[in-house]
Amino acid sequence: MYSATTLENGIRVVTESMPETRSTSVGIMIDAGPRNESAESYGLAHLAEHMMFQGTGSRDARAIALMMDESGGQMGAFTTKDYTCYTATVLDDYTPYALDLMGDILLNSEFPEEALEREKCAVLREIDGDGDIPSCRVHTALKAKVWGHHPLGRPVAGFSEVVRRLTREDLIYFVHRHYLPNRMIIAAAGHVNHEDFISQVRDAFWRLMGEGTPCVSSPPSFNPGVVVENVPVSQAYFSIGLRCLPYADEGRYRVHLLNSLIGGGASSRLYARLREERGLVYQIGSEYHAYVDDGIFVVEGSTAPEYLVQVLGLILVELWKLASGDEPVSEEELWKARMQTRAQHLIASENSSTRMSRLATQSFYFGRSLPGEEILAAIDTVDCGALGEIAGGPLIKALRRVAVSVVGPEGPDTFTQQGIEALLDEF
């Protein structure tokens, strides 16, 4: 059962009861992230998230960690390009306990200087670590190419040289300006009673007052082209990006189904034709990344450097055959994609943490909860004609402005940026 209430101070509270469970998952989603950073503070939102666990006026970092361990629960946080989220999953008896702790860290964190320097070092290691993983590096490079200095194009963790300069005063200003009631959604799913949960949220957050104006960034432009980085690895890692729909677009279910049949599993077109039939890749897949104001359809994988241009060409050919109608979606493919998408939705629905995450994200992007029956019905109403419309419209248009990033070894017999650009020109 879904329930929603807006508190007197402006916090939106949404819950979904799962009586069969003994756990409760709580999430606090805040409309604050990379979009609220200036050029001098890239990475500030992510650093603030890290620092929330480093001590309050009444609890130090160890006490915070011990409280969650003693409850048998899990507590964490993450920053995305659109928002920041703090989460906890505990036994139902410990829900007030978890809310009290989360309220303390969000309202009373002191950001001690010694902890700040330690967490900055941790973030710097995180940035360096992502750069050491070719699959992460190629994905980051793609989005930087596509969106440049727009918040969608920047790494959430920021840049090392900027993170080093961030100060305690920067953190305090950012939190006081953006962690405000009207930009906060508190969601819970599991063994939870809505009225009881409302009272617990009031107890934990009654002192939070004020009203913030969300930052509205200019719509991003999509920049096609090629970027190549040479690093000492044995494989060539690639990422192909096509402009796609934003998160709340009505065509999103069509894109999810297209993603399933293009690169969403071992029976998808790309996996079957490049891995199973030709053996040119070990791993290949596609994903749909959607945000408030834009989206991107990404095909990623790796291959031997000498096969890279051939593999990229075959991927573009497969996408073109679908978009142009030369090889349209069959009823069998649609059925498989529909069953896969439905099953993923239903299996994930058995988890209280996933249900809580859905509540929060749906409230953030749509302003309401989308019942499971509504989502499944929307998936079932997509037919081959609807997929043909989106493939022959947005997809074929996107294929004329493709972005490609590659991370691979340097050598006289390997790929070149000019060679990949020449390949794209053919399409």
Mean pLDDT, the chain cut into blocks of 10 residues (427 residues total): 93 95 95 92 96 92 85 89 96 92 95 95 95 95 95 95 97 96 97 96 94 76 95 95 95 95 93 96 95 96 95 95 91 94 92 94 95 94 92 85 94 78 78
Closest CA to 140 of 231, 75, 17, 251: 231
Classify residue 331 as exposed, middle or buried by CB count within 10 Å of its CB (0-12, 13-18, 19+): exposed
Query: Cβ distance 369 to 14 under 8 Å?
Result: yes
Q: Is residue 378 within a helix (H) or strand (E), and if so which, with residue range?
A: helix 372-380
What are the angstrom distances between the C-alpha of 209 and each of 11, 140, 168? Answer: 10, 37, 22
Query: Cβ distance 391 to 197 under 8 Å?
Result: no
- CB count in 10 Å sphere of residue 230: 13
353: its two tokens: 């943490």
Q: Is residue 5 within a helix (H) or strand (E), and if so which, with residue range?
A: strand 2-6
Task: Please name the residues in contact with 197: beta carbons below 8 A apart, sequence gap of 6 or more.
Answer: 13, 15, 95, 188
Torsion of CA 56, 60, 66, 68, to 10 degrees: 20
Query: Cβ distance 326 to 320 under 8 Å?
Result: yes
Question: Mind listing the domains of the chain with CATH numbers?
Answer: 2-205 (3.30.830.10), 225-425 (3.30.830.10)
Nearest 5°: CA angle at 80, between 75 and 86? 20
Distance (Å, whole) CA 95 – CA 25: 8
Classify residue 216 as exposed, middle or buried by CB count within 10 Å of its CB (0-12, 13-18, 19+): exposed
Predicted local distance difference test score (pLDDT) of residue 217: 67
| 75 backbone dihedrals φ, ψ, rounded to 5° | -135, 140
Distance (Å, whole) CA 36 – CA 217: 9
Query: Cβ distance 110 to 56 under 8 Å?
Result: yes
Query: Cβ distance 387 to 329 under 8 Å?
Result: yes
Query: Cβ distance 77 to 52 under 8 Å?
Result: yes
- How many residues are listed for the chain in this entry? 427
Q: Is the dihedral of CA 109, 111, 115, 117 positive or negative?
A: positive
Strands 184-190 and 12-17 turn out to be: parallel
pTM to 2 decimal places = 0.93
Structure-token match 């890290």, residue found: 50
Closest CA to 196 of 364, 5, 361, 367: 5
